[in-house]
Structure 1
Amino acid sequence: MKKPALPVDEALRLKSLHSLNIVDTADDERFDRLCRLARQMFATKVAAISFIDNDRQWAKSCIGTLDRTIPRDISFCAHTILNSEPLVVNHAANDTRFHDNPLVTSEPNIQFYAGYPVKHVNGAIIGTLSIMDDEPRGFDAEDLKCLKDIAELVQSELHAILLTTQDQLTGLLNANGFRVLSQNSLNMCERLKAPAALAYFDVRDVKQINTMQGNREGDHALMIFAELLTFGFRDSDVLSRLASDKFSVLLTNTSIANTRDILDRFKERVDRYAVENRLSYTLDYNVGVSWVDVDGDYDFDNLFDEAKNLALKTKT
């Protein structure tokens, strides 16, 4: 069995996948419909829309018998994401890459596989649309065109999700995406009895920058602040631009004492950036912080409102 290699853009690919916040989410009729279409069109036992995470293949939608999660080392789809071309395996038992793969030698006994890469809007390949059967079969150029058409519909749905949850200027989550992902993260913290904190940032003087130096420079200031947030907090934290000059971060498994230390270091980073890059303006901001400990109320709306109210009346 040949284990799949890592794509050359693996870091960007994973970052792009995680920006969608789609892995481990609930069933979605939009994707189920496309899987049903693929299965019916090609008369296969299985059709799936899968994403390749750090060490696993995870199926957002699957029609037929296939585990929702498959180790990446034995995943057919992990081979498919290595380039932009579709992968077709007509007879897996005769293919040196897969003949002794557990997915071939035991359930679901894959003999035929066809997978088409699914891309993020930035071009990174994050997953696949795939069809599988327990009997070998042919797959011609016309079949590939049809599979590509459905894969492009999958990409369109992903792009629509991105537009509804991502801030287009900074690439951070927007208010809608932040609320959904934060409540999910808070639910996890409650199950694990872990603390969490929410910080609300009100960046000052952006309106003045727009007036004095133009909207383009004001947008640049907001992009700088978003970038500093990205470097100043962990990958596991939830970052967002809520609207105009308002930002927020949810810190999971983080006590209020640690949160204050993190915010102090972030303030130092922001001040240092302005000096080192000789900005003609400052990136001053107000910040409000709320938190929840074990046995507290892990409700997003309460945490958010408390942090926002503090930020709007408290100056750093």
Structure 2
Amino acid sequence: MKAPDLPANEEARLLALRQLDILDTPAEERFDRLARMARRLFDAPIALVTLIDRDRQWFKAASAPDEYENPGQVPREITFCGHTIAQEKVLVIPDTLADGRFADNPMVAGPPNIRFYAGCSVTDGHNHNVGTICILDRTPRDFSAEDMALLRDLGAMVERELLAIHMATIDDLTGIANRRGFMTMAQHALQLCQRQKVPASLAFLDLNKFKQINDRFGHAEGDQALRFFAAQLREHYRESDLCARLGGDEFVVLLTNTDITRANELTGRLSAALQASALQATTEGAEAASYHLSFCHGVVEYDAQRHASIEHLLEDGDRLMYQDKKR
């Protein structure tokens, strides 16, 4: 048996999965319906909507005969879908016993005795393969190009449902996480860092004189400034860092596997980049004018003894940011 390879963007993929806040949630008709549709369209005994966590595959929806015992989750290392998310095309295994990667897989050698698999990756809308929609059979079968196209169509339907969930955690203006999305995802990230015994740091950022931008150039320009700042966060922090707009002109970044020295370094680079980037006011009818964005900040390193939750870490970051503002 061959264990699945990890996608190249594994850490960012896991953060995207956490941001959906869907793991271990109750069954939902919108996903159950798609599993039933897949089972009916392909006349397959089992159809699943799955999400691939760090060490497990979790079933969001399962359509199967009454005698099928849905385990709810299985170890990732024995999954077929773990292989699917590591590639972009539909994964088809016409006969598992004829494929050296799966012939001795426990799900082939024992219940549910899988002999056929077809799976399509589903993304969060940002090129992170977070899970699959797949069909399973207990006998070998063929799977045509038309079948693969149909499975991809079903995958797109799953993605639309995931996007609806995702939008509830994303700030409409800037496109980064909102407070709800940050609080959920950051708590998971802190627990992971504690379990892996790696550092984490938080940068609390508050734009300087943002009200003056609104007063001078109008709220449309203020919105543009917020979008620009969010884009700068994405550019100067790393793909695995969680950037969020808490509200108004307050932003936060959680940096995993990062001590406070490195976090301060990245935040300093962001500040320098803003100083070098003059924004041109675009308010219609106003005189041409440029301005720079700057921010006060507080950077704090996660301490499991002092920070019982993400709320405590935010409080420390807010306090340090306020001290910076008073200087």
TM-score norm. by structure 1 comes to 0.72
Cα distance change, pair 127–233 in 1 and its aligned pair in 2 (3 A): same
Tell me which amino acid in the other structure corresponds to 2:119.
G
Offset at residue 251 of structure 1 (A): 2.5
AA at the equivalent of 2:138: D
* C-alpha distance in 1 between matches for 2:264 and 2:270: 10
Do the aligned partners of 1:20 and 1:162 also contact (CA within 8 Å) in 2?
A: no
Residue of structure 1 equivalent to 2:200: 196
In the aligned structure 1, how far is the partner of 2:216 from the partner of 2:295? 19
> C-alpha separation between the residues in 1 aligned to 2:259 and 2:167?
33
Pair 71,245 (structure 1): closer, same or farther in 2 beyond 3 Å? farther
Q: What's 2:301 paired with?
A: 291
Confirm whether residue 77 of structure 1 aligns to residue 87 of structure 2: no
Change (3 A) 1:209 1:6: same
State which of 243, 253, 260 in structure 1 corresponds to 2:264: 260
1:236-256 Cα distance to aligned partner (Å, 9 max, x none): 322111123110012334333
1:38-187 matches, within 5 Å, as: 41=40, 42-45=43-46, 47-50=48-51, 58-59=57-58, 61=60, 63=62, 64=70, 67-70=74-77, 77-78=84-85, 81-82=88-89, 90-91=94-95, 99-109=98-108, 110-121=114-125, 127-137=131-141, 151-187=155-191
CA pair 19-239 structure 1, distance change in 2 beyond 3 A: same
Deviations 1:142-179 (A, max 9, x none): 98898567545422321122111112332211111111
Q: Distance in 1 between matches of 2:321 and 2:227?
A: 20
Per the alignment, residue 291 of structure 2 pairs with 281
Q: 1:126 to 1:147 in 2, by over 3 A?
A: same
For 1:47, give the aligned amino acid.
L
When residues 262 and 168 of structure 1 are mapped into structure 2, their CA distance, relative to the original with a 3 A threshold, is: same
Residue of 276, 284, 287 corresponding to 1:272? 276
Does the CA contact (< 8 Å) of 1:80 and 1:115 recur in 2? no
SS, match of residue 258 in structure 2: coil
Q: Measure, in 2, the Cα distance between the counterparts of 1:103 and 1:24.
A: 31
SS in 1 for 2:252: strand
Instruction: Specify whether residues 125 and 292 from structure 1 end up closer, same or farther in structure 2 by C-alpha distance, changes over 3 A only.
Output: closer
**Which amino acid in the other structure matches residue 84 of structure 2?**
C
Matches of 2:61 and 2:242 in 1, distance apart? 28
Which of these residues, 300, 304, 313, is aligned with residue 310 of structure 2? Answer: 300
**8 Å Cα contact 1:38-1:147 kept in structure 2:** no
| Aligned counterpart for 1:226 among listed residues 224, 227, 230 | 230
Q: How far, CA to CA, are the matches of 1:310 and 1:106 in structure 2?
A: 53
Residues 16 and 124 of structure 2 are in contact (CA less than 8 Å); yes or no, is this contact kept in structure 1? no
Which residue number corresponds to residue 37 of structure 1?
36
Distance 1:118 1:304, change over 3 A: same
Gaps of 5+ in 1: 94-98
Q: Secondary structure at the match of 1:135?
A: coil
Asked if residue 21 in structure 1 is aligned to residue 18 in structure 2, the reply is yes
Give the Cα separation in 2 of the matches to 1:124 and 1:184: 18
Q: Is the 8 A contact 1:232 1:266 kept in 2?
A: yes
Alignment CA distance shift 1:50-1:299 (3 Å): closer
Higher alpha-carbon deviation: 165-174 or 108-117: 108-117
Please tell me the residue identity of whatever aligns with 1:21.
Answer: R
Give the distance between the partners of 2:190 and 2:86, measured in 1 at CA: 35
**Is the partner of 1:102 in helix, strand or coil?**
coil
Q: Which residue of 2 is the match for residue 96 of structure 1?
A: none
Distance 1:73 1:169, change over 3 A: same
User: 2: CA distance between counterparts of 1:52 and 1:253?
Assistant: 19
- Give the partner amino acid of 1:268: A
CA shift at 1:127, angstroms?
4.3
Give the Cα–Cα distance (whole angstroms) in 2 for the partners of residues 73 and 146 of structure 1.
19
Aligned residues: 301
Q: Distance in 2 between matches of 1:311 and 1:187?
A: 24
